Amino acid sequence: MPEAKIAPSMLSSDFAQLGAEAQRVVKHGADWLHLDVMDGHFVPNMTMGAPVISCLRKHTQAFFDCHMMVSAPEKWVDDFAKAGCELYCFHLEATQDPLALVDQIHAKGMKAGVAIKPKTTVDQLEAFEGLAEKADMILVMTVEPGFGGQKFMAECMPKVKALRAKYPHKDIEVDGGLALDTIDAAADAGANVIVAGTSVFKAEKPDEVIRTFREKVNKVQLK
């Protein structure tokens, strides 16, 4: 199992202070910054695009984990590569040819992630032969994509467990409702990349939250 990576979701930050917020959570121990890109079509909300990420890139050297909650994710690969995105994670449900999209992302020098919604099964992911192996990361959504602050869906954990058993060295990310009372379920299932928004950005001591998340994941890893 790969090492823990804690990726605070900038969706829960103060967007008027985006650069400072990024620097703050990195100072408190964040490994990655999770950037939620929503187009108002694939999901019923709109957030940031490549121009905003390009501006943020000037304020931090942190690893940018770009979660593309967009229709036609093929359309935006070049723009986000130029903006400084290092991992481009698209939704399986948003594309007809995910294998070709992974190749397109890799050709631009980025890592490729594949995200699945709560109702999308591991079998649906693996129906595309070789996709899970070719992708650098698999993201299992633990809420319906589109909004922050939702309740963690523990019923998604069997998918994480199945993916970890089959792909022991793969980065497996969980996103949605991760907090001090849900991290154990995610860590025990085998997730090693933890996305957390409210529980980090609204915490009195975000460094303690991040440290606890990392310790929980690494404890499972050592078993």
What average pLDDT does this structure show over 27-34?
A: 98
If DSSP states are collapsed to H, E and C, what string results for the chain? CCCCEEEEEHHHCCHHHHHHHHHHHHHCCCCEEEEEEEECCCCCCECCCHHHHHHHHCCCCCEEEEEEECCCHHHHHHHHHHHCCCEEEEEHHHCCCHHHHHHHHHHCCCEEEEEECCCCCHHHHHCCCCHHHHCCEEEEECCCCCCCCCCCCHHHHHHHHHHHHHCCCCEEEEECCCCCCCHHHHHHHCCCEEEECHHHHCCCCHHHHHHHHHHHHHHHHCC
Task: Provide, rounded to the nearest whole percent, the portion of the chain with pLDDT above 90.
Answer: 92
- Domains annotated for the chain, with CATH where assigned, are 5-221 (3.20.20.70)
What average pLDDT does this structure show over 16-32?
A: 97
pLDDT tens-digit profile of 127-137?
Answer: 999 999 999 99
**Chain-centroid distance, C-alpha 53:** 15
**pLDDT for the residue numbered 149:** 72
- Cα distances (angstroms) measured from residue 112 to each of 88, 105, 211, 215: 5, 6, 26, 26
pLDDT tens-digit profile of 162-179?
Answer: 999 999 999 999 999 999
**pLDDT for the residue numbered 143:** 94
Q: Is 175 a catalytic residue?
A: yes
Point out the catalytic residue in the list 14, 31, 36, 171.
36
- Cα distances (angstroms) measured from residue 162 to each of 60, 114, 153, 165, 180: 35, 16, 16, 5, 23
**pLDDT for the residue numbered 150:** 80
pLDDT tens-digit profile of 176-213?
Answer: 999 999 999 999 999 999 999 999 999 999 999 999 99
The model's pTM is 0.96
Binding site residues for a divalent metal cation, as ranges? 34, 36, 67, 175
- Cα distances (angstroms) measured from residue 77 to each of 1, 5, 87, 208: 29, 24, 10, 35
Which amino acid makes up residue 70? Answer: V
Binding site residues for substrate, as ranges? 9, 67, 146-149, 177, 197-198
Point out the catalytic residue in the list 65, 79, 175, 188.
175
Q: Is 207 a catalytic residue?
A: no
